[in-house]
Amino acid sequence: MTESEFHKLLERYLNGSCTPEEQAVVERWYNRLEQAEGPALRTQNQEEIEQAIWARLMSKRAAKPEPRVVAMWSSAPLRWAAVLALLAFGIGWLVFSTSRFAKLSQQNTVATTNGKWTRRSNQTQQVQAFQLPDSSRISLHPGSSVRYTTAFAGPRREVHLVGEAFFQVTKNPRRPFLVFTKEVVTTVLGTSFRVKAYADGKEASVAVREGKVSVQAREGAQLDASPAHPAAAGVVLLPNQQVVYSASQRRLKKELVDRPVVLAPQPFEFEERPVVEVLAALEKAYGVDIVYDKATLANCTVSITFYDEPLFEKLGLLCKSLGAYYTLADASILIHSPGCQGQLGK
């Protein structure tokens, strides 16, 4: 693949016009960056590229099976040599191409000012990034708009959103940052997160990438609440967690995002190691809570190696070796296992 072809691949990904196979290639490259397995480009342009890819990953909330019970399965063989070669080429090539590629995500949104308020809307087909007066950044999805006070003054930084956006909020404990949608209010002091609440949608969702976020229903919202002092009826979210507000049921449901990212890289090669050690590594890597019967798994060992599979695929492979399965309950993962049966990991 030439440099030009790789550039076009990234461009098609952000435009939503690439094939499922091409999507997988880009997302595997992105996951390698998240797991710190290759050189990451921490320039402003690189951050915008990562934001745009992460925003597309987080927007894949479509059709989850209910109940969310995952039985044993086998993953398809992976062509590691080709994937790793492409990842190495892509990361190296981006050193020379980020300035050109950044033009895809830095086009101006349409901005209008009417006295006290400024309104920005994205009328393009691509995610658009811009900066607020406090240096916070917003990546606004197509068909979405935000409204905020022009001077961005006062005890609170308030943004009103219709549609979908990814926020990178400049930290300021003295001035909380609030995002208002029709259904929910999200409060942060400084972090990054996604909010999705389209005008004609039946749900609103908030997903956290970094830091801590407080979410509550807008009706009767406690505006002085914060992640440190959340509202009694609110929900506090940590990285890889999200909350979905159902307008029909008028309730907040806390759960894991569909594709948790690695927060603290861990070694994932285990040779005849206790199963509880494997589970502990997954918990630490993804910042998730895995619940299981410690007595049942106390004497179980397993030989298994994980690569850059998504978290839920890792869990599926582990459960297959145990003759077990897992379910999701709120933001926790529950492992259901009969215990050790024969020699595991063979």
- What is the pTM for the complete model shown? 0.68
Q: Is the same domain home to 143 and 241?
A: yes
- Encoded tokens for 115: 């006295």
Is 344 part of a structural domain of the chain? no
pLDDT at 87 > cutoff 60 = no
Same domain, 247 and 275: no
CATH number at residue 140: 2.60.120.1440
| DSSP per-residue string spanning 264-306 | S----EEEEEEHHHHHHHHHHHHT-EEE--HHHHTT-EEEEE-
Same domain, 204 and 331: no
If asked whether residues 235 and 136 sit together in one domain, one would say yes
Same domain? 177 vs 287:
no
Q: Identify whether 8 is part of a domain.
A: yes
Q: Can you tell me the distance from the alpha carbon of 83 to that of 157, in angstroms, rounded to the nearest whole number?
A: 43
Does residue 38 fall inside a structural domain?
yes
| 304 and 239 in a common domain | no
Asked if the structure places residue 144 within a domain, the reply is yes
Per-residue pLDDT tens digits for 135-170:
999 999 999 999 998 888 888 999 999 999 999 999
Whichever domain contains 297, its CATH number is 3.55.50.30
Instruction: Between 43 and 50, name the one with better pLDDT.
Output: 50
In this structure, the answer to whether residues 168 and 30 fall within a common structural domain is no
| Co-location of 192 and 241 in the same domain | yes
- pLDDT confidence of residue 60: 55
Whether residue 227 is preceded by a cis peptide bond, meaning omega within 30 degrees of 0, is no
Beta strand residue intervals within the chain, DSSP E:
69-70, 110-114, 117-121, 128-131, 137-140, 145-149, 157-168, 177-180, 184-188, 192-197, 203-210, 213-217, 235-237, 241-246, 251-256, 269-274, 289-291, 301-305, 325-329, 332-336
pLDDT of residue 257 exceeding 60: yes
Q: Is position 263 within any domain? A: no
Nearest in space to 210 (alpha carbons), one of 158, 160, 251, 170:
170
pLDDT band at 129 (very low <50, low <70, confident <90, very high): very high
Residue 341 in domain = no
Are residues 323 and 298 part of one domain? yes
Please indicate, yes or no, if residue 199 is contained in any of the structural domains: yes
Residue ranges making up the domain that contains 178: 110-256
Give me 90's structure tokens: 């892509």
pLDDT tens sequence across 95-121: 434 444 444 444 456 667 776 889 999
| Domain final position from 88, 104, 120 | 104
The reported pLDDT for the residue numbered 106 is 45
User: ∠ CA(243), CA(51), CA(135), 5° rounding?
Assistant: 95
DSSP state of 253: E
User: Is residue 116 located within the same domain as residue 178?
Assistant: yes
Question: Which residue type is seen at 71?
Answer: A
Please check whether residue 264 lies inside any domain of the structure.
Answer: no
Domain boundary among 104, 135, 167: 104
> 136 with 73, same domain?
no
Domain co-membership, 208 together with 292: no
**Distance of alpha carbon 121 from alpha carbon 82, whole angstroms:** 40
- Number of domains the chain is built from: 3
